[in-house]
Amino acid sequence: MEDVTAQIPREEERERLRLGAGEPVLRLTRTAYDAGDRPIQADVMLMPAGRQQLRYEIRLGPSQRG
């Protein structure tokens, strides 16, 4: 499962990513589940919005998670 949001970064994030004032970022939060539907991994990624392209492949059919 992934959630992607756009926002203005906090000052520390802006400095670490070497962004200009007011430049937005994308925050991607991902949770991976095992076959028993238990969360096994969580990731949070922060990326400059103007330098990213997100691509998702969506397969229709029976769910992998139940």
Q: What pLDDT, on the 0 to 100 scale, is given for residue 63?
A: 65
Cα–Cα distance measured from residue 18 to residue 10, given in angstroms and rounded to the nearest whole number: 12
Q: Which of 25, 30, 31 is nearest to 12 (CA)?
A: 25
6, two tokens: 């756009």
Q: Return d(Cα 23, Cα 39) in angstroms, integer.
A: 33
What is the reported pLDDT for 57? Answer: 82
Quick one: pLDDT at residue 54? 87
pLDDT in tens, the chain (66 residues): 899 999 999 999 999 999 999 999 999 999 999 889 899 999 999 999 998 888 888 776 776 665
Whether this prediction's pTM lies above 0.75 is answered by no
What local confidence, expressed as pLDDT, does residue 59 receive?
A: 75
